[in-house]
A and B are shown apart, each in its own frame.
Chain A
Amino acid sequence: MIDSRYGAQHTTDPDEFVRVADVVKIFGDVVAVRSVNLSVRRNEIFALLGSSGCGKSTLLRMLAGFEEVTSGQIMLDGEDITAIPPHRRPVNMMFQSYALFPHMTVQANVAFGLKQEGVDAAEIHDRVFEALDLVQMAGYSRRKPHQLSGGQQQRVALARSLVKRPKLLLLDEPMSALDKQIRQKTQIELVRILEQVGVTCIMVTHDQEEAMTMAHRLAVMTEGQIVQMGTPQEVYAFPRSRFVAGFIGSTNLFTGIIVVDEPDRVAIECDELSRPLVVSHGVSEPIGMEVHVSIRPEHMVVSRDMPETEENWAHGRVSHMAWLGSYALYQIRLDAGKVIEASVPSRILASLDAPGIEDEVYVSWDADSATVLAS
């Protein structure tokens, strides 16, 4: 049963399968993980996203049992697993380096976990090949790990961690060892397999594209704490801080003072823009307070003609342009001096009579596309 101390702070979700409650990890003087709280639903794929040193790998290792929790609790399927050693947890991990046993064949590697459970030989054989079929490696059962390519090793590692039907699967930077080319394809295939098997999964990555592609929900971590949690769409469209806005995708940040504060219309005066910035959602900050606003490059509309509205646009000159195939990325120096990024889809470029360097342009955006950041 969940400890009521922790329950009071969070809504009890009937589908909740994993709960990390106020978990802290201290190494000597260093606080690697500061009071992290998160909850993962059954069969959900959850990503911990962050750059090096943010604490995500430590948190993952605590979930696996390789690091002792300094304080806090980890609950899995209603059971407190905080103090259970790794070989007794119903948790399996796929390591970043795959950690396939070099002195055993693929078959022996996958069978290893089942042997520890005392499962009988016939059942082991069936389950091993069931798992290998799932990852399409059944034909390689007699090979040794050093005879396989990186992608093949990954699939065997996945089979090995799934064959025991763990309650929780942990993935440590699953794509980091693969070439960029095959990453996207592998990401999609991995999700397909996980959804087919129906396993709850927590993964750790520094690659935000990977998190956005694979996860149902994600949490952004920095300096040992979770700064925002939600679905990829939520976190992308409504970042709550400059850090998150800049970490996930790229964005344009403006700083200004609130001059009008109404429930569905807030106007902000920025030095960087000559016209007011209007946001279509309410804010909790009072008039006169300095706030930051995030507008994504894809919401910046580039045109040669002056917009007709009074607000939410600016004038400037193109300082740099990079054409990336499906879209072009413009860097535009506004009159006030600030450089913003706007991404323009290729099909629009033609109708625009694609502006070149030093051309005068206008950028405008919707009140809906701008987000005021809390920090």
Chain B
Amino acid sequence: MKWLSLGLGFLFLYAPIVSLMVFSFNASPLVTSWSGFSFRWYEALFKDEVLLRAAWLSFQIAGLTATAAVVIGTWVGYVLARMGRFRGFAVYVGMISAPLVIPEVVLGISLLILFIEMRSTLGWPADNGMFTIWVGHTTLCMAYVAVIIQSRIRDLDRSLEEAALDLGASPLRVFFSITLPLIAPALAAGWLLAFTLSLDDVVLASFLSGPGFSTLPMEVFSRVRLGLRPEVNALATLFILAVGICVIIAHRLVWRKETA
């Protein structure tokens, strides 16, 4: 029973990924009709200026988002885990949990309207683009980071922080010298998660981008809406390989540290 349910479950999860990769090497432009092995779609990918530009843009936004999300998300996670029950705690929890579940279209529309109002009253931001997308992505991703960090800090032995206070470190110093180093792996995980979510987001980017501004997922989405695209398969394969390599590296690092 166990192996049946696990086996089927994993088959379900991985079959699409495998199919993507296999057909990226298909010589035929009819993606699912195999006509021979070929790298032509990879060549096409690297010649596609629009796609490459969009990719670069997406990476930049993702990096900025991940960093901001980790800073704010860690702050929130720490407050939730360590600051006890303060007035407005329920509201705090509510607001930080909301981005996790609210449909992205709701978030997208709301932020877009905010920026329009700001433009008409303050004159800023002048155009929708990198900044507005960054704000949207950060708001979404910080919620995920907050959950990860809050749960990690909860498991942290409180007496370590108390010992640091006892030895004369101010609360701020305790946070930077003791708490942060001890949750470093969770910070890294949060950064990577935020990066991934930002890189993959279609809805928020579509609502919050400006004229001539296209992110990678936006490009991919507009192409696949109309049907199958073999260069997208090539892109997907490269992506999956990149993620796979990163995971293996991370796994080795953690494994090596634990057996040290």
> Per the CB under 8 Å rule, do A and B touch in the complex?
yes
A contact set with B: CB distance below 8 Å:
64-66, 85-88, 91-93, 95-97, 99, 101-103, 112-113, 116-117, 160-161, 164
Question: Which residues of chain A are near B170, meaning CB under 8 Å?
Answer: 87, 116
Cα distance A86–B177 in the bound complex, in angstroms: 17
Interface 9-residue window, one of B46-54, B93-101, B159-167, B225-233: B159-167
Question: With the chains together, A92 CA to B165 CA distance in Å?
Answer: 10
A99 touches B171 (CB 8 A): no
CB contacts (< 8 Å) of B160 on chain A: these are 99, 101-102
Task: Determine whether B173 belongs to the interface, using a CB cutoff of 8 Å to chain A.
Answer: yes
Bound Cα distance from A99 to B161, whole angstroms: 9
Having A95-B163, A103-B181, one finds 16 other A-B pairs with CB under 8 Å, namely A64-B166, A87-B165, A87-B171, A88-B168, A92-B166, A93-B163, A93-B166, A96-B159, A97-B157, A99-B159, A99-B163, A112-B164, A112-B169, A112-B177, A116-B169, A164-B168
B166 proximity list for chain A (CB < 8 A): 64-66, 86-87, 91-93, 161
- Measured between beta carbons, the chain B residues less than 8 angstroms from A86 are 162, 165-166
Nearest B residue to A86, CB-CB: B165
In the bound assembly, the distance between CA atoms of A92 and B166 in angstroms comes to 6
| Cβ contact of B173, chosen from A65, A85, A91, A116, cutoff 8 A | A116
Task: Give Cα distance in the complex from A112 to B165, angstroms.
Answer: 11
- Main secondary structure on chain B at its contact with chain A? helix
Q: Is the CB of A101 within 8 A of B178?
A: yes
Nearest-CB distance from B3 to chain A (Å)?
37
> Which residues from A are CB-within-8-Å of B167?
87, 92, 112-113, 116, 160-161, 164
Let me know if B106 is at the binding interface, CB within 8 A. no
Are the C-beta atoms of B168 and A113 separated by less than 8 Å?
Answer: yes
Task: Tell me, in angstroms, the Cα distance from A99 to B159 when the chains sit together.
Answer: 6
B182 near A: Cβ within 8 Å? Answer: yes
Contacts of A87 in B (CB 8 A): 165-171
Give the distance in Å from the alpha carbon of A331 to the alpha carbon of B170 in the complex.
58
Per-position 1/0 for B147-165, Cβ under 8 A of A: 0000000000101101111
Q: Which residue of A lies closest to B167 (CB)?
A: A113
Out of A92, A99, A103, A113, name the residue touching B157 (CB < 8 Å). Answer: A99
Residues on the B chain within 8 Å of A65, using CB: 165-166
Residues of B near A99 (CB, < 8 A) are: 157, 159-160, 162-163
